[in-house]
Structure 1
Amino acid sequence: MRASDAMSRPVHAVGPDDPIEQAAAMLIGYEVTAAPVLDSYGRIVGIVSEGDLLRHRVPTDPTLHMRRHADGTDADRPHTVRDVMTSKVVTTPPEADLADVAATMLDRDVRSVPVVDDDELVGIVSRRDIVRSMVRTDAVLQADAQHRLDEYAGSPRWTVTVHRAEATVTGTFRDEVERQIATVLTRTVPGICAAHVPA
């Protein structure tokens, strides 16, 4: 399974000069844990997560509120996304193996990875997306695979059965090319780990 199979889109992004309150409201409103930070050209310049917002908005110094600037704002308190974002962003291409993306998340201790294709942001993969793709039931996988095959063939020429995420495709095939097409189409279903076409 590839990153593009599990990624979420559209991607909800923020700008570096957006107020952090706006970023927090966006994360809460869309129920996402992180958002890419894009410059005016649409390039990723950072990522801001719930952790970044909490880390910088909950003061470690309990007397911080007693010190204020001339304009009445708290001293040393961040105000824009640029002030709190992580600038070293871990990204992945759409064709990356999802298992490799998961391993990178664990190794780098990140919860979301933007998916970038030729410098263009095309999606984002979160830990939740990966878990969701892993826990699809056999019945859901079977229905998804059957739909793809019926759509390709134009009629229900082939039948898919799925057991423990392994699919078997039966029916009449004109030639070896059709067998390969049925196998490949079935394997593109997120969550199916193997596909077989009996001889």
Structure 2
Amino acid sequence: MLVKDAMSTVVLTIGPAHTLRQAAQLMAARRVGAAVVLDPDTSGLGILTERDILNSLGAGENPDRETAQLHTTSDVVFAAPDWTLDDAADAMVRGNFRHLIVLDDREPVGVVSVRDIMRCRSTVLVRADAVPA
């Protein structure tokens, strides 16, 4: 199975000046665990995850003052839609992260998460168990 078959095509894009509270509200409304942070000044893409927000809150930082820019991961590993789920899982394990931004022609077209991969693998396992021997 390929990344394009598993990824969420709901890509939440925010700017670096969004506060963490704004980012969290948008992520909750879209039911996603990560936001793509697009900085028009640098033309760069980064990622802000629910863990980044949690770490900030745990450190006692104010979510109304902290901006996405301060908590964005900018050294992002990107996936291609035609990667296998094994390729994506390997990249996640090597990088110790749970989300990959999927790029097609340098444009974000999706996000694939560990949950997406597990959902697909679980479905495959259920289908394999359902086939009579």
TM-score tier, shorter chain, comes to 0.7 to 0.9
Separation of aligned partners in 2, 1:51 and 1:33: 8
Match of 1:163 in 2: 131
Cα shift at 1:13: 1.9
Q: For this pair of structures, how many residues does the alignment match?
A: 127
Cα shift at 1:78: 5.2
Match of 1:194 in 2: none
Q: Which runs of 5+ in 1 are unaligned?
A: 65-73, 140-161, 165-199
Amino acid at match of 1:101: A
Q: Deviations over 1:42-101 (max 9, x none)?
A: x552100111112223336xxx8xxxxxxxxx7xx9521101111111111111111110
Aligned with 2:8: secondary structure? Answer: coil
Match of 2:23 in 1: 23
Match of 1:138 in 2: 127
CA contact (8 A) 2:19 2:65 kept: no
1:180-199 to structure 2, matched below 5 A, reads none
Match of 1:33 in 2: 33
Q: Where in structure 1 do 4 or more consecutive aligned residues deviate above 4 Å? A: none
Amino acid at match of 2:103: V
The two structures have a TM-score, normalised by structure 2, of 0.83
CA gap 1:44/1:3 in 2 versus in 1, 3 angstroms:
farther
Q: Which runs of 5+ in 2 are unaligned?
A: none
CA gap 1:25/1:89 in 2 versus in 1, 3 angstroms:
same
Match of 1:104 in 2: 91
Match of 1:85 in 2: 72
Match of 1:7 in 2: 7
Q: Percent sequence identity over matched residues?
A: 36
CA contact (8 A) 1:36 1:44 kept: no
CA contact (8 A) 1:13 1:37 kept: yes
Separation of aligned partners in 1, 2:98 and 2:30: 16
Separation of aligned partners in 2, 1:10 and 1:116: 13
Q: Deviations over 1:122-181 (max 9, x none)?
A: 111001110111111329xxxxxxxxxxxxxxxxxxxxxx728xxxxxxxxxxxxxxxxx
CA gap 1:35/1:12 in 2 versus in 1, 3 angstroms:
same
Separation of aligned partners in 1, 2:109 and 2:17: 22
Separation of aligned partners in 1, 2:59 and 2:39: 28
